[in-house]
Amino acid sequence: MAVLALFGSSLPGHPSQPLGEVRGVAAAPHLATAITPASLGARDPRFAYIRSPDRDAPRAGVEALAPRPAELTGYVWPLTRGRITLPFKAIPGGTRIKDGKLFHDGVDLATFCGDTVRAAHDGVVLAAGRRFDDFVGWIGDLGPYYRILDRKKLWDDLPIVVVIDDGNGYRSVYAHFSKITVGVGDVVHAGKRIGYEGMTGHASGCHVHYGLFSPLETKTFGVRADILKRLRVPRLEIARIDPLLVLPEGAAALRTRQIPRIRPAAPTN
C-alpha cells in the first residue's frame, strides 16, 4: 500500500498552522534560539527558514545564524550500537527522486526490536506520533493527502515518528518507533531516550530511519509517481542532507556499516 512508502525503501488538507509557543522554554535557556516563533517556523511551519534560491549568495538574516553541516557539533548516534542497513543514497526502491534517480532520503540504523532510540542533538520536539507531515518539509497543500488518510482510515498504517528542532537551524526526523517517550514541546538533550526501535509503518524489520533537514538546502526532492497518484501528496519536498555528515565518525561508519562505539553524551533517563 502506497501510504507505507513515505519513509525509505522499506515503506512503500489540513492547511499547515504556525506553531506558536512551545512548552519547556524556561527549562532550557541555552536553547532559546531554537524556540523563538521565527526559528520554529511561524512563517512556514513545515520548515524553519526561508532559503535563498542562490546557493552561492551571501547568507542573510536567520539563515546566516545556521552553521554549515561541516561546522555542526554536539550530535550523537540515535543508536549506540548496531549496523547501518541502508545509507543515504540512490536505490532502485527509493521513494524520493534526486537528480532523476530514485533515492533513500535518510540513513537506516538497526539493532533489535525495542532497543532504546536517543535524540541525536539537543532540541525541542515538534511532532511525536503519526501526525508529523506538517513538519517534514512538504512544499504545497497536504489537504488532499490528509483527506485520503481520513476517508480510507489509514492513519494507523503510518509509522510512529518524532521530529525535533535541533536548536541550530537543523531538524531531525526519526521514524518507525514501536513506542515513543516524548511529546510535542518537550525539550530533549543529545543522548536522551525518545522511544524504542520498532517497525511501525510496515517496515521490513525493526530499525530507525533517521533524516536531517538543513536550513541552507535549496534543492528539493521529487516523489515517486505511484505515491503521488495514490496518496496525492505534494510533488516536492525540501531535500534532506546525509546524516552521516554530522554523526561522529560518520565516514568511517559508512565504510564498515557499523555504528561506532561512542559513549552517549547524556543520560537516557
Predicted TM-score (pTM) of the model is 0.80
Predicted pLDDT of residue 61: 53
Predicted confidence band of residue 256 (pLDDT cuts 50, 70, 90): very high
pLDDT tens for 82-118 read 999 999 999 999 999 999 999 999 999 999 999 999 9
Tell me the torsion sign for CA atoms 179, 125, 166, 98: positive
Q: How do the domains of the chain map onto residue ranges?
A: 32-50+72-89+106-137+151-220+241-256
The pLDDT value recorded for residue 57 is 57
Model confidence pLDDT, tens digit, residues 118-129: 999 999 999 999
Say whether pLDDT at 49 is over 50.
no
Tens of pLDDT, residue by residue over 165-180, are 999 999 999 999 999 9
Q: Which residue has the cell 542497513?
A: 85
Task: Report which residue type is found at 117.
Answer: V
Give the pLDDT confidence score for residue 206 in this predicted structure. 97
Architecture of the CATH domain 32-50+72-89+106-137+151-220+241-256: Distorted Sandwich (2.70)
Q: Name the average pLDDT for the chain.
A: 82
Per-residue pLDDT, 261: 85
Q: Which residues pair with 198 in a beta bridge?
A: 207
